Each structure stands twice: as structure tokens, then as C-alpha cells.
Structure 1
Amino acid sequence: MEVVSKHLGHTRVSITLDIYRHVLDNEQCEHVVDVFAPGSPPLPAQAVTPALLN
């Protein structure tokens, strides 16, 4: 990224990433957990609220 950023004339790599980096569909799905699927890890205690239990 540093080389690309330098060639584009950006002062910081973060500028290049902000402009050109996009989350692809397959990347987004890799981090999703189906909490209703059998064998899913339990939710953390602070995530369970009375509103979710109704």
C-alpha cells in the first residue's frame, strides 16, 4: 500500500485506503455469525437484553 500511495501522490496511506479499499461481499460474509444456527457460540451476557427475550 505504501508504494501505491506514494505513486498516487497521497501524503498518507490512509488516504489511499479510504479512497480505493472496499469491502467485497465474500469478505463481509466471512465475519458474520448466524446466532440461530445449531452449534453457534452463545451470545455474550451483555448482548442478551430483556428486549431480545420478549
Structure 2
Amino acid sequence: MARVENSSSKSSHWGIDACGDEIFHGDTIFEFPNGDVVLLENLPEYLIKFLGVKETTAK
């Protein structure tokens, strides 16, 4: 995901994360080696959907 430049100084839009949500300046993001950018709140969804991580309960 490449950073999206916005010519309007009134917008705080930074780009779109790998899960399709809008990123604003100041948001906490994670940048992956493959180029994906993911918002903090979307990290569990990204790990499960895109990297095949399995969520379980410790027993």
C-alpha cells in the first residue's frame, strides 16, 4: 500500500489500509515487509484473513 498524497491542506487523509479502512494522519499503523499498511484496530482481522493466523483459547 503506497501512501496517498492529498493536495488539500484541509484533509487529514493519509491513505487506505489493507482492510479497506481510511487512514488519517496521527493513526497508529503497522507496515509489513510486503508493503501492506494496517491500522492498529485492524491488526487482528489482517492477521487472520491475510496471513492465516488461527485464533484459539489457551487450555
TM-score (norm 2): 0.22
Decide which structure has the larger Cα Rg and report it.
Answer: 1
TM-score (norm 1): 0.23
